[in-house]
């Protein structure tokens, strides 16, 4: 399938119709058949949305947009002179980004949608819940589409994602294509940044889900209160018709208190007083079993090939969201019979060999994610547990020490290494994690090893054949970002190589928990 940003519904919209909707003067006759934010995404007949940039205004590229066949330019007062030099018709608004959703909705024809639309927000668990929704909808016999951190998918056609929540033109084009393909249900990840930066404008969810809130993204928001507020707007009538909120983090109670739409609650804590409850009954190296109890007392047994109480919570949230949309519990009970076939790419990917220590490579970047995943592997680990951990450069620095603290509290061995330093010097990144680990007051062995290839081998040596190594951060990425260059490196493949070097047999002892192909 061609890249999402290059596809739109070919629904001609008159410029005077757009101008009227925006409340601005019409630039003349003509029609547009799509919308894009970058000139390389433009196709003949599309509207070029020229936003102000950090160093250059997007309107400076209006000439290139004209060459690409753009029908008109949408920009602000600052960019209108440059846009007019292109000779294209120009629509001028006060805030281009703030109008993207409204325009994209008209251009894509997504004012109404023929399917239920689900959206999931929270610090951790968004991707898992969206993929669980996808698996459950498929079990119900639905044709599906999903947009997640790792992929955009319509039926069996998938492509990689660039953003957790796509920009408004891409999102509306995606929804239009899903409608054209006749899908029966769509699930989206909705990030705080996606809400704050108007990426989801013009979209109204049938059911919004909230997983949790924990320390993250304080490079984008001044404090946790602002971060929570960014997510809370999803639970208002302009964004959603109903919600399901997990009470497994304190923020869930605040979301419920602030919500201005009907909400139901869910929790793994029986003392939380939630409408739905999740009780984990078994944790294994290849998955988790749980019992979900609905508000009317109906119980459903869930068996997912995902590790930990938090994954059972995500599965319960997905079921509750479908029930809230009107799917009968009897149908959901049928859909959850037997092991659910779901893969969440890059989440707890099982790199283990047929013998030796178990190794899981995860896409995790927060203290809360570390704590939950380490608890998941500790539940079945017969021996020592090690974590190989690094932090992203040019991202929230305030969480690095906390990552180290949690690692030392929950693991026997902490190996601090480099991940994506980007344009930061890697040594101070490691130093912050090390300082946190060494301040925890726990007796974990804390080791610094900058080279990831050496780090995994040190961790394997420390835990022995009956241990577990949890490699947090890289997931299934096949590169490291070093000063803007993508240096080839696959943590998953190198973990397998390291196990083979240590004399362990090829193959695996169970089904992959995550997607093994890269």
The confidence score (pLDDT) of residue 7 equals 44
Cα–Cα distance, 44 to 71 (Å, whole number):
7
pLDDT at 348: 87
Provide the pLDDT for residue 194.
Answer: 86
Interatomic CA distance for residues 9 and 40, integer angstroms: 18
29-58 CB burial, b ≥16 within 10 A, e <16: ebbbbbbbbbbebbeebbbbbbbbeeeebb
Query: Which residues lie below 8 Å from residue 386, measured CB to CB, with a gap of 6+?
Result: 411, 412, 413, 414, 415, 459, 460, 462, 463, 467, 468, 469, 470
Q: What angle do CA 417, 419, 421 make, to 5 degrees?
A: 110
pLDDT of residue 160: 80
DSSP state of 506: S
* Residue burial 446-455, b: 16+ Cβ < 10 Å; e: rest: bbbbeebeeb
Class of the 349-501 domain? alpha beta
The count of residues in the chain is: 518
Distance CA 234, CA 243 (A): 9
The partner residues of 186 in beta bridges, in order of sequence, read 117, 145
User: At a CB cut-off of 8 Å and minimum separation 6, what does 57 contact?
Assistant: 50, 51, 75, 78, 79, 82
At 93 the pLDDT is 95
Q: Which architecture does CATH list for 4-108?
A: 3-Layer(aba) Sandwich (3.40)
Q: Could you state, in chain order, the average pLDDT of each consecutive group of 10 residues for the chain (518 residues)?
A: 40 90 89 93 94 93 96 95 96 94 92 95 91 97 92 87 84 94 96 89 96 77 86 96 96 96 97 97 93 97 94 97 98 95 86 94 89 92 96 91 95 96 95 96 95 97 95 89 93 95 77 38
- Dihedrals phi, psi of 168, to nearest 5 degrees: -55, -45
Question: Any idea where the domains of the chain sit in the sequence?
Answer: 4-108, 117-335, 349-501
CB 277 within 8 A of CB 241: no
CA–CA dist 224, 107 (Å, integer)? 36
Please state which of the four CATH numbers 3.40.1190.10, 3.40.50.1370, 3.40.50.300, 3.10.20.30 is assigned to the domain occupying 117-335. Answer: 3.40.1190.10
Name the phi and psi angles at 387, rounded to 5: -120, 130
| Residue 387, pLDDT score | 97
Question: What is the C-alpha separation between 82 and 80, in angstroms, rounded?
Answer: 5
């Amino acid at each position: 399938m061609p890249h999402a940003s290059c596809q739109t519904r070919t629904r001609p919209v008159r410029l005077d119709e757009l101008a009227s909707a925006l409340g601005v003067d019409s630039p003349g006759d003509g029609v547009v058949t799509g919308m894009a934010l970058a000139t390389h995404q433009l196709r003949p007949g599309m509207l070029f949305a020229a936003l102000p940039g950090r160093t250059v205004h997007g309107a400076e590229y209006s000439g290139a947009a004209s060459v690409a066949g753009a029908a008109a330019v949408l920009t602000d007062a600052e960019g209108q002179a440059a846009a007019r030099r292109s000779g294209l018709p120009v629509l001028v608004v006060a805030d281009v980004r703030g109008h993207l959703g409204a325009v994209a909705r008209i251009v894509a024809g997504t004012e109404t949608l023929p399917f239920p639309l689900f959206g999931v927000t929270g610090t951790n668990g968004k991707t898992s819940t969206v993929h669980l929704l996808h698996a459950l909808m498929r079990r119900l016999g639905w044709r599906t589409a999903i947009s997640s951190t790792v992929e955009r998918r319509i039926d069996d056609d998938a492509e990689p994602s660039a953003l957790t929540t796509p920009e408004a033109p891409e999102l509306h084009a995606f929804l239009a294509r899903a409608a054209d393909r006749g899908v029966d249900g769509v699930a989206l990840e909705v990030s705080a940044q996606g809400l704050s930066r108007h990426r989801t404008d013009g979209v109204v969810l049938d059911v919004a889900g909230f997983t949790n809130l924990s320390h993250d993204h304080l490079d984008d928001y001044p404090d946790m209160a602002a971060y929570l507020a960014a997510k809370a707007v999803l639970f208002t009538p302009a964004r959603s018709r109903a919600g399901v909120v997990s009470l497994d983090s304190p923020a869930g109670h605040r979301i419920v208190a602030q919500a201005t739409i009907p909400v139901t609650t869910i929790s793994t804590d029986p003392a939380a007083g939630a409408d739905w409850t999740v009780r984990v009954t078994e944790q294994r190296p290849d998955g988790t079993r749980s019992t979900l109890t609905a508000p009317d007392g109906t119980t459903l047994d869930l068996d997912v090939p995902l590790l930990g109480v938090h994954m059972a919570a995500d599965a319960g949230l997905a079921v509750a969201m479908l029930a809230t949309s009107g799917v009968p519990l009897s149908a959901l009970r049928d859909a959850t019979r037997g092991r659910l076939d779901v893969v969440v790419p890059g989440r707890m990917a099982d790199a283990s060999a047929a013998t030796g220590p178990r190794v899981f490579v995860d896409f995790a970047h927060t203290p809360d994610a570390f704590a939950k995943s380490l608890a998941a592997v500790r539940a079945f680990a017969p021996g020592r547990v090690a974590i190989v951990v690094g932090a992203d450069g040019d991202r929230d620095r305030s969480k690095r020490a906390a990552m180290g603290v949690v690692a030392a509290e929950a693991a026997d061995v902490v190996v601090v290494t480099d991940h994506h330093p980007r344009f930061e010097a890697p040594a101070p990144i490691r130093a912050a994690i090390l300082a946190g680990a060494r301040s925890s007051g726990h007796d974990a062995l804390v080791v610094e090893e900058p080279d990831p290839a050496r780090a995994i081998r040190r961790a394997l040596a420390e835990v022995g054949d009956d241990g577990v190594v949890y490699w947090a951060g890289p997931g299934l990425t096949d590169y490291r970002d070093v000063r803007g260059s993508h240096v080839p490196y696959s943590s998953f493949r190198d973990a397998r190589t390291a196990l083979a070097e240590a004399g362990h047999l090829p193959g695996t002892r169970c089904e992959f928990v995550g997607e093994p192909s890269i």
